[in-house]
Amino acid sequence: MRNFSTFPWLLQRISAAFLIVLLIIHFWVGHYANFGAPITFAGVQMRLQNTVFVILDSMLLVSVVFHGLNGVRNIMLDYPFLLPLNRYVSLILLILGAVTIIFGIYSLYPFTVGR
């Protein structure tokens, strides 16, 4: 039987590298692109009306949620008594991740339309 823990392990490493790149972009745009200018609500809202930044922030959100919850999954499955519950632990964390991502994107939506 094939070991299906290899795929989440590999995705954990890929998401870590992806997060580093996205965080550098996020920090650069948010804090250093207009060096010396204060960060204002209007400036953030204006930036989020650009599709590129919405996509970048959404990718950052998805990557952070996946990386964090997959890490929690890995830690939980290190305990032998939880190993038989692998499917349930994974399903609960998948649902929690989906709800978190939907809520995060829903929270960004008013900024994208300027309301």
Report if residue 91 sits inside a domain: yes
How many domains is the chain built from?
Answer: 1
Report if residue 72 sits inside a domain: yes
Report if residue 102 sits inside a domain: yes
Report if residue 36 sits inside a domain: no
Report if residue 21 sits inside a domain: no
- pTM of the entire structure? 0.83
Report if residue 55 sits inside a domain: yes
Report if residue 11 sits inside a domain: no
Question: pLDDT above 90 covers what percent of the chain?
Answer: 43
Report if residue 98 sits inside a domain: yes
Query: C-alpha angle 21/27/30, rounded to 5°?
Result: 135
Q: What is the dihedral of CA 14, 61, 24, 11, to 10 degrees?
A: 0
Question: pLDDT above 70 covers what percent of the chain?
Answer: 92
Determine contact, residues 25/55, Cβ cutoff 8 Å: no
Domain that holds residue 102: 41-115
Task: Using the predicted structure, report yes or no on whether residue 99 has a pLDDT greater than 90.
Answer: yes
